[in-house]
A = this chain, B = another copy of it.
């Protein structure tokens, strides 16, 4: 059985496991104050070219979104996101649980549009009743999006420009950031993202770590007492080393980008394979997730050998299926998949 079900079905990159093993018996201080967290922070400041950046490590994506968004909004503000944004749909109301509304904009292959954002904001502030409404307080984008698509640098800069005209921070959810950066379609580097956004996170869980996301405030603009806010939301790890060691290793010798590149190379092979086999694409993305329409019978057969992900019903006899590559996908996985498709 091989798996193209998602990008978090394997454990961690072997180098991470090795470092956890090597450092295991060292006594280290807790709560993110250890030397590995310090090293990881330094390396991320270098990789983002943001010497002033504040970097904190959290455990998972939904947690990170909730902590960051709740920490940066005023109580009367909500977060603007695509109607298909992860925070809008698939976080069980974690944002609303912190008291904030997710204000949705139309999605275009998972992306919001700077023009539509501007129109929304203009209309909001023109409305004589806007003091009875939730104020837009920050903008959330994901890169890659939930559909694997990417904002171009121009698109993201246009969104940032609108945000800053309205004095709202722009937050980028980088759960799969590495896969975006290594996409042939990407025209942004990590320093570009750090320059354009006000806060973002570098996803570990889906890019080679056992767990962990690195939140970056590129201009040192973390909310006051951010550590206490993290603690208050139950997100502070006693053994912060678990996160520090992983990110220290991911940012040593370019590991993060190298393993991301593997996922993209495998995804390119995957797309060729699907085309060769004449599958109809529901969405052909530039990153590690591909969406095709399969006959239900064919799908049932395939699932005996290959784990894939149900996305949605296409019609009574067809299903939209997601196949994801990842840092751990191998050429051999691809060959086996080719046989079963």
Contacts and interface: CB of A to CB of B under 8 A. Distances in A.
Nearest to A76: B228
A70 B75 contact: yes
Given A17-B24, A27-B1, A134 B239 contact: no
A61 B233 contact: no
List the number of copies, as a whole number: 4
A246 to B, nearest CB: 11
A30 B326 CA distance: 15
B75 A71 contact: yes
Interface stretch (A92-100, A186-194, A283-291, A296-304): A92-100
A337 interface: no
B231 A234 contact: no
Interface in A204-258: 205-206, 210-211, 224-225, 227-229, 231-239, 241-242
A332 interface: no
A39 interface: no
A280 interface: no
Given A133-B92, A205-B239, A233 B97 contact: yes
Interface string A54-93: 0000011111111100110011101000000000011111
Contact of A238 (B61, B70, B76, B129): B61
Interface residues of A, number: 84
Interface in A158-177: none
A44 to B, nearest CB: 21
Given A227-B131, A228-B135, A29 B9 contact: yes
A46 B186 CA distance: 52
A153 to B, nearest CB: 29
A325 interface: no
Interface in A1-46: 1-3, 5-6, 8-12, 14, 17, 20-21, 23-30
Given A10-B26, A60-B238, A211-B239, A231 B131 contact: yes
Interface of A: 1-3, 5-6, 8-12, 14, 17, 20-21, 23-30, 59-67, 70-71, 74-76, 78, 89-94, 96-102, 126-129, 131-135, 205-206, 210-211, 224-225, 227-229, 231-239, 241-242, 307, 310, 312-313, 328
7 contacts: A9-B30, A10-B27, A11-B241, A92-B228, A93-B134, A94-B234, A211-B242
